[in-house]
Amino acid sequence: MNDLPLVSVIVPTRDRPELLRKTIAAIDAQDYEGPIEVVVVFDRSDIDPDIESRRDCRVVRAITNTRKPGLAGGRNSGIEAVSGSYVAFCDDDDIWHSDKLSKQVAVLEERPAIEMAVGAIKVHFEGNVTDRVPPMEIITFTDLLRSRIVEAHPSTFLFRASLLNSIGLVDESIPGSYAEDYEYLLRAARRTDIVIVPDAIADVLWHTASFFVENWQTRIDALIYLLELYPEFDSDPHGRARIEGQISFAHAAIGNRSEARRWAFACLRHKPTEKRAMLALAVSTGLVSADWVVGRVQSFGRGI
């Protein structure tokens, strides 16, 4: 047995048995030579005991989400159950590349002052594959106010356990757990810079159907919650405009034309070239449908 640190991997899941097994298989196939424990958290679904296994220094356990139903509660149930020096998140429909953990652990071991790592991803959507590489080597809190940096996907999150002990659990108060990963990134970046592995380390699967695609009101409520939780957005007009544009688009998608236009105009005051506001105005006037816009944007590996 070598002296590499234990990595704990948290996989929240809900009614995706086939995808889950592929996700677990990819974690098991890691070339990382240290011990790995995988905690699969079943949220509002029955535990599948057949996924549990133990061999050499690899363990897979299944538990039930005992906290608030939803993704945030599922992640937190996992955080409370793990014991690794490093903690990773992985969604139940994403696939890690075999060198994901070895690269990330190495980069953090070389930088003891940094407490979190992410990495580039490959986005898969309806047969298209888009490489998404973060445009910087280090992500700061200021960077995350300006941009969500989609490349910093939760399935690439790797934390030192000390960071989680400091920043606490994932916020379960966010409506519908929407953007809980972004809020957690912001909170982490307040404490530490986030280092990036520039190589693609995970395949991220985007689906035509999603828990959030049709729940636009949840998006609105969650994004307003974020603006209120982080007053620092007021110091970055472009970052605030990005979120205002998303709120505007969501209102347009559910037919709230007056609210869509109100948020769009607020957005354009902060950033006159913000495309989300322009798209929201187009949807609010009936020129295009929200579904068409979302589909087109996702085909390029991007989101609203």
State the span(s) of the chain assigned CATH 3.90.550.10.
7-205
Among 23, 18, 7, residue whose Cα is nearest residue 203: 23
180-189: average pLDDT: 97
Q: Rounded distance, CA 232 to CA 234, Å?
A: 5
84-108: average pLDDT: 97
pLDDT at 299: 76
112-139: average pLDDT: 92
DSSP state of 287: S
pLDDT at 298: 79
Identify the architecture of domain 7-205 in CATH.
Alpha-Beta Complex (3.90)
Q: Which of 130-139, 237-246, 280-289, 291-300 has the lowest mean pLDDT?
A: 291-300
53-68: average pLDDT: 94
The pair phi, psi for residue 194, each rounded to 5°, is -115, 120
Start-end of H helices in the chain: 17-28, 71-81, 100-109, 141-146, 161-167, 180-191, 216-229, 237-253, 257-270, 275-284, 290-299
Kindly report the average pLDDT of the chain as a whole number: 93
* Cβ-contact 60, 36 below 8 angstroms: no
Does residue 279 carry a pLDDT above 70? yes
Q: Rounded distance, CA 95 to CA 232, Å?
A: 34
The pair phi, psi for residue 86, each rounded to 5°, is -120, 145
pLDDT at 209: 46
* Cβ-contact 136, 216 below 8 angstroms: no
258-271: average pLDDT: 97
What tokens does 157 get?
A: 């999150």
201-221: average pLDDT: 78
Q: Rounded distance, CA 264 to CA 146, Å?
A: 18
* Cβ-contact 251, 263 below 8 angstroms: yes
Banded pLDDT at 214 (limits 50, 70, 90): low
Is the pTM for the entire model greater than 0.85? yes
Count of residues making up the chain: 304
